[in-house]
Structure 1
């Protein structure tokens, strides 16, 4: 198996760059669907590379999951400029996969604002309390008897009980590349982890409930430095099964982004 979430198969396909996925992308919700983290990171890659400008960086990215992204078969990713501009531009990206009739159809989209960088400014620091250091985290290894999923593709350091704490905290870093043979950019590394916020602090029995997210919205105040991404997350539920996961993302020097996700909460069975 490749030590990456995806292999780039064809850069010249008219539908977009063509990829295949490895087992590292498999969602914990089902063996035939991908976790949203690799999907969102691959879409972010497209928004960074399309009409790339060294004087800009991503500010806000919203990923919408239009349905289960299949693990097997070809995937196509393409991007375009929605709103051009010298200081502010909007880039959209789309992932396609074969539908029931074999015809490629959109399965996920991303909308990304790219902002012009300025000279360094003397601005106030973030008021968010930093996470405790990575060294204080407890390493969590997946059960050897479990099937391979995205969860096993991360190196985890739990700062508390991330399943049952009201405000869950941990550090994580991908153990594999996003695309085989490529080094991840800071933004790609951030999105390769960001989606875990949905499962943290749920306080729900995963044997009794599912809590699927349909989107991932991330506002980036600073690109992360270093391999570790910290996550602080909390969940808010309505009795009608609609919820929201809300949190902050960190590197080892402080907060880098805010993350929010919509949730569909349902009983199993």
Structure 2
């Protein structure tokens, strides 16, 4: 059997060695966002997740570029309440914190009486898909394809995503898969006609429920920019409907802007 791809190999209880799958396009030895947020989500959930609590919000601050070096993941329980649990995780490289995450969990309960407003949304899915590929990108002007260059346009964008395992030999949980997919909010909102020139410094994932399977879709909802600062939001959905939201803030990085038309094999991959 072919071994499943993974972003990290666990070398001790709290230390992880990045693999080639964790590499980013932003720099020769940088790690990509999905690898980092996935490791943070996995660490917090493994240590402090409870079945009776829903992981409703994860916010990850990406303090500096993470490198392809051993990464230590620490976690602590901040508040253990009857209805709300708060915990945090830090990812450290050479003793320096490169990312910090906070997870909010709510106790699952009955639905309140009455009806509430929810938006009516078009949630496109490709007619024909290649399940051998982890990612497929779509846009209003470019249809669906595995090549980012096909979607360097000014129209609305979306992903179909099956996450790479965060740690070798361990299948991702539904929470980790959702967080991994949500990190694509930066790409689906910031990708334009000349590529992507904003690098996100954070990710917030808000979830009403967990995805029903490993295939997750992400569609851009908003994108606002001024003075080299960008904010973007996107809807997470699966085969039965929408279940969450991804939000990022990002800063202009024109010196390292990635133009995918310069790469003949610009297959969708992690930034």
TM-score range, shorter chain: 0.7 to 0.9
2:207 alignment counterpart: 220
Distance 2:5 2:38 in 1: 16
Instruction: Give the aligned CA root-mean-square deviation in angstroms.
Output: 2.4
Match of 2:106 in 1: 115
CA distance in 1, matches of 2:128, 2:247: 26
Give the match's secondary structure for 2:37.
helix
**Structure 2 partner of 1:187:** 175
Deviations 1:138-193 (A, max 9, x none): x699xxxxxxxxxxx8332525434324321231212x322111111111011222
Per-residue deviation, 1:213: 0.4
Partners of 2:86 and 2:173 in 1: how far apart? 19
Say whether the 8 Å CA contact 2:84–2:106 is kept in structure 1. Answer: yes
* Cα distance in 1 for residues equivalent to 2:106 and 2:28: 38
Q: How many correspondences in the alignment?
A: 242
Match of 1:94 in 2: 90
Structure 1 counterpart of 2:80, from 59, 79, 84: 84
SS of the aligned residue for 2:64 comes to coil
> CA 1:226 to 1:165, structure 2 compared with 1: closer, same or farther past 3 Å?
farther
- C-alpha displacement at 1:58, in angstroms? 0.6
Structure 2: unaligned runs, 5 residues or longer:
143-150, 257-271
Higher strand share: 1
For normalisation by structure 1, the TM-score amounts to 0.81
| Aligned equivalents of 2:11, 2:139: Cα separation in 1 | 39
Cα separation, partners in 2 of 1:180 and 1:241, compared to 1, 3 Å: same
Does the 8 Å contact 1:218/1:260 carry over to 2? yes
Between the aligned partners of 2:188 and 2:245, the Cα distance in structure 1 is: 15
Give the structure 2 partner of residue 145 of structure 1: none
